[in-house]
Chains A and B, each alone.
Chain A
Amino acid sequence: GDSVTQMEGPVTLSEEAFLTINCTYTATGYPSLFWYVQYPGEGLQLLLKATKADDKGSNKGFEATYRKETTSFHLEKGSVQVSDSAVYFCALGQTSGTYKYIFGTGTRLKVLA
């Protein structure tokens, strides 16, 4: 079945460091891909998304490119801030069949001042 694999955390970085969080997927058809962020004690919020191959999603300095050839959707940010500390979830949306959304296990990011 369809699945999403994220790099395990926690990821600890100093402020202004470069961030990469890896995400790969397996899916039939052509899924949409999402990154969500969860701050402590809260629900998830959409960070960015891409609905077809080679699309780049971007928001608040974060970027991710939908790479069909490598089945990946890695999240990047050039300079992280302490306020970026949170858990990041990669997800895919099935565009055929049951139309479900499948989430990765999440990657915790901690940014130190």
Chain B
Amino acid sequence: DGGITQSPKYLFRKEGQNVTLSCEQNLNHDAMYWYRQDPGQGLRLIYYSQIVNDFQKGDIAEGYSVSREKKESFPLTVTSAQKNPTAFYLCASSIGGQKGQETQYFGPGTRLLVL
């Protein structure tokens, strides 16, 4: 079955710790995205990548970092500089090339909690 997987489902972060959220897709999509979801605020774009080895900051990139070394993988690191990381994180992918018109396919999400 093709799709997007995110792991872990729940993640706990201690103060001052960096944590990495995994996102893998087997849809052969070029474009991948990370969103943060907070109650009452909808989805906000953190980073996106339209092709391997390239990525751009979204609207709330401060305190986060990403890499895109493989087409199928787009891990997100939440650094200690992110002071309010508690949220639901969603990864998505789209086919790429149909700019702004593509259906995004979402993973099941990772819930990050601070201890």
A residues bordering B, Cβ < 8 Å?
31-32, 34, 36, 41-46, 49, 51, 89, 93-96, 98-106
Known contacts A103-B42, A105-B42: A43-B90 contact under CB 8 Å: yes
Rounded to whole angstroms, the CA-CA distance of A46 and B42 in the bound complex is 15
Choose among A36, A43, A44, A101 the residue with the greatest number of B CB atoms under 10 Å from its CB: A43
CB-defined contacts of A45 to chain B, threshold 8 Å: 106
- Interface residue range, chain B: 20 to 34
Closest A residue to B90 using CB positions: A43
Rounded to whole angstroms, the CA-CA distance of A104 and B107 in the bound complex is 19
Asked whether any CB of chain A lies closer than 8 Å to the CB of B81, the reply is no
Closest B residue to A93 using CB positions: B100
Asked whether any CB of chain A lies closer than 8 Å to the CB of B41, the reply is yes
A46 near B103 with CB under 8 A, answer yes
Rounded to whole angstroms, the CA-CA distance of A106 and B42 in the bound complex is 6
Asked whether any CB of chain A lies closer than 8 Å to the CB of B104, the reply is yes
Which of A43, A99, A105 is the one whose CB lies under 8 Å from B40?
A: A105
Closest chain A CB from B24 CB (angstroms): 14
A43 near B42 with CB under 8 A, answer no
A100 near B42 with CB under 8 A, answer no
B102 near A89 with CB under 8 A, answer no
